[in-house]
Structure 1
Amino acid sequence: MAEFTFHHGGVSVPDLDAAIDWYGRVLGFALEKKFYIAAARSHTAMVKKGPLRFEIFAVEGAAPLPEDRRHPPRDVKTHGNKHVAFRVADLDAFLVEMGEKGADIAFVVRESFGKGCFIRDCAGNLIEFVEEPDA
């Protein structure tokens, strides 16, 4: 089987500069590069935090995010990509930090199978953060 590693996740937003600011201020991503994709009519940026990257698209004339895509339990009822997820060491500490930064906390999960949360970026895109139990 061919070997591969994760490179990036992608999100579409209405305002590229606002998204670059949000991903930097709230999650600590730094701008790696900005570029224009003519075929998609997209002003685009790649932001990076360590080995993690997000590609942010601001496509001319794009439709807004449908309301159902903003809520995790409803979003999974529509086929397609759902979200990216990151591991955090301490969910409660992470939630406090996100609250202090004014992040839009969409959903918190505390179940026997694990715990985590979803936040929305400045355009409503869902991002999951998971605390894995000790092995």
Structure 2
Amino acid sequence: MAELQDFGTLHVIDEQPPLLLPFQLRAHHCGISVPDLEKSIAWYREHLGFGLEYRTSMPMVPFRGAFMRRGETRIELFELPDATTMPAERRDPVTDLRTHGTKHLALEVDNLDAAFQWLSSHGVDIAMPPFEAHGLAGCYIRDCDGTLIELLEHRDGRGLFQPSKPPTPNKENI
């Protein structure tokens, strides 16, 4: 029998933005520092379906970078010489909460069960197995460098995707 977990409460507020601002706003990308740029490019391509949009560099920092894109979602990967490695507590979704700052990259999927099964069968490091609470289903994985990624499916009708349907098997997803 699975261990019962307390996921707390969720109160839907749906507050409208309090001010009308003279500009539009949306997320553009999430930046992730990596120890090996080429290895990370390959991981995001092979495991999450991101394509390489462009490469970048900034000699004054210095870093080499790459923007990866899948649809409207972008990730910036950057490699700096002599960067500090990620502390072990940052690799766990629960202990990482004890450190201030950005916690993880969250990506919405249309079918969490199918995504988790495919990623698991392709050797992706699982940080937290699937859970469901408050109309949301999720899990946490780690990229090839230990960065936490949350995969999230809205099962309450509030997400970007329609309710889950099993994917049609084809050569790419088998």
What TM-score bracket applies, with the shorter chain setting the length? over 0.9
Total equivalences in the alignment: 135
1:127 aligns with 2:140: no
- Structure 1 residue 108: deviation in Å? 2.5
Which one has a bigger Cα radius of gyration? 2
Name the structure where helix makes up a greater proportion of residues: 1
SS across alignment from 1:47: strand
1:30 aligns with 2:51: yes
Unaligned 5+ residue runs, structure 2?
1-20, 158-174
Unaligned 5+ residue runs, structure 1?
none
Give 2:77's aligned amino acid: I
TM-score by length of 2: 0.74
Q: Which has the higher contact order (CA 8 A, sep 6+)?
A: 1
Q: 2:111 aligns with which of 77, 90, 95?
A: 90
Quote the sequence identity (%): 40
Name the structure where strand makes up a greater proportion of residues: 1
1:78-111 deviation per Cα after TM superposition (whole angstroms, max 9, x unaligned) = 0001112111122111111101221111112524
Question: Partner residue of 1:61?
Answer: 82
Question: Partner residue of 2:140?
Answer: 118
User: Which contiguous aligned blocks of 4+ residues in structure 1 show a shift greater than 6 angstroms?
Assistant: none
TM-score by length of 1: 0.94
1:52 aligns with 2:101: no
Give 2:71's aligned amino acid: G
1:47-93 deviation per Cα after TM superposition (whole angstroms, max 9, x unaligned) = 11111110001111101011000000000110001112111122111
